[in-house]
Structure 1
């Protein structure tokens, strides 16, 4: 469906005619891509919950992992006219975890923040220490101007965090969400340090 709609939009056999046909095809293509992405996430979530996710824990520099995620998603934020800022702590401990799953969890949380933001909003991605020998990735979304953000219902926000939450928990960490009108939405990925992970 996605490939066929994309092919028709290129008009290889001649013009589509009325411009409304092009709009309909673009909508079909976008809906198909969104459905494919959602099914993919559900399959990944099922794999994590079934215990079939293969983890390769090793020492990681969390700042480097998160910086790579931000770099990959800067373009998407810019297209939506959303400002993405970073603040990385230089005194956090080493993290022992599976790089691929931690990176994917952080990317999904940032993507979720971008998709729920409007033009002129700001997203702050930071790292720092957390309680009990843990370190954290924090993603805070704030609204444009000084008006309170129009937050999505908490259940909708949580729905977008199901897969990253499962990926974080598979690595021995946890994900928590807090939302206040004056501060925006804050999602924290909290992971044990290398020392805590090894007792």
Structure 2
């Protein structure tokens, strides 16, 4: 059995692999779904995401085998990282390099193998996305192109993992050192967007008709889940970027003459299905019709109102009621409020609402958000010269009110 030679860039390659911070991490369903999709699309015995370490192949995800790692000298993937193109071995038992390999030799051993190198942003191949079978088979150029597409999706997922790890580590360091978070958040948000947009794009590609058998199987749903999860993460990253722009003083408003009832109706229409799924009553009070035209940034207004209603939906139990109202106070300030009959907010939590990354409510519901929505909403209202006031009592519901200053 011949062991694969070391790549010419082995030192840099191992550095790139270590930087991913992925080795020896727990199983992750996002990567598991990718290998399941690859197995389904190519009709093979199995597939694996194999990372080539200095002395082993470590599998981040796999199907068709029950191993987490193998010695590097036994792995065909060690050969696949030597070139940029897909490594195809139609019958390993007939290849002198692998005929006596313990995973190939004998009846029932591996025969077919195809591995696409996982080439990171620095240009080094850190591992492979490989498919394999117990019988010999051919693998044409179209199939190789599809496998390269899958490998690109894996690379984007790996880079996203790396960026998230680095972001969290840097954020903790910044907070402990009381450093300014504005430039840090903006930089990391941009860095996260690149691989995330690629994840979304490839997920949409997988859902398309281009992959034939995938289109008429439940694995198409997995691709949809990848896409939806990616879009959700992109929304989170956009929120982080918005917060950093505001704190850095780089957020500018475009003031328009807004008819409040029309803007409120547009936001409610986006959330009415979500409310109905929880059997909630989401209504717009008649008081909104009598309000004067408001000078405000349309996008910012909708963002704040959408966040307030979304929070009310999240925390209000089934069959509850959420009402959006409007009023002018004695000083000419315009007030738009969102009231719910949910569980209310404890005084200790109420005092901290508006802090970045702080989340109130039950622990299980905190995981549904990022703790950025109200922080951004407070700051957007301040940019308008107004404020966001939240009033609540445990057991008596919550009212969040957008207060805009009197017209000049």
TM-score norm. by structure 1 comes to 0.74
1:136 matched to 2:335: yes
Question: C-alpha distance in 1, partners of 2:231/2:318?
Answer: 23
Question: C-alpha distance in 1, partners of 2:292/2:406?
Answer: 6
Q: What is the 5 A alignment of 1:55-70?
A: 55-70=253-268
Larger Rg over CA atoms: 2
Match of 1:146 in 2: none
Which ranges in structure 2 are unaligned for 5 or more consecutive residues?
Answer: 1-198, 350-357, 361-370
Aligned residues: 189
Moved more, 168-177 or 156-165: 156-165
Instruction: State the secondary structure of the residue aligned to 1:176.
Output: strand
Q: Please report how far the alpha carbon of residue 105 of structure 1 lies from its aligned counterpart in structure 2 after TM superposition.
A: 1.6
Question: C-alpha distance in 1, partners of 2:271/2:201?
Answer: 24
Question: C-alpha distance in 2, partners of 1:78/1:63?
Answer: 21
- Alpha-carbon deviations, 1:149-186, whole Å to 9, x = none? 27598341464311222221111110111221232121
Instruction: State the secondary structure of the residue aligned to 2:318.
Output: coil
Of structures 1 and 2, the one scoring higher in RCO (CA 8 A, sep 6+) is 1
Contact 1:138 1:187 (C-alpha < 8 Å) held by counterparts: yes
Contact 1:136 1:188 (C-alpha < 8 Å) held by counterparts: yes
Moved more, 21-30 or 31-40: 21-30
Question: C-alpha distance in 2, partners of 1:165/1:192?
Answer: 14
Which one has the bigger strand percentage? 1
Question: C-alpha distance in 2, partners of 1:2/1:112?
Answer: 26
TM-score norm. by structure 2 comes to 0.40
Which ranges in structure 1 are unaligned for 5 or more consecutive residues?
Answer: 144-148
Match of 2:359 in 1: 156
Aligned CA distance change for structure 1 residues 80 and 171 (closer, same or farther; 3 Å): same
Q: What is the 5 A alignment of 1:64-79?
A: 64-79=262-277
1:114 matched to 2:317: no
Question: C-alpha distance in 2, partners of 1:13/1:57?
Answer: 49
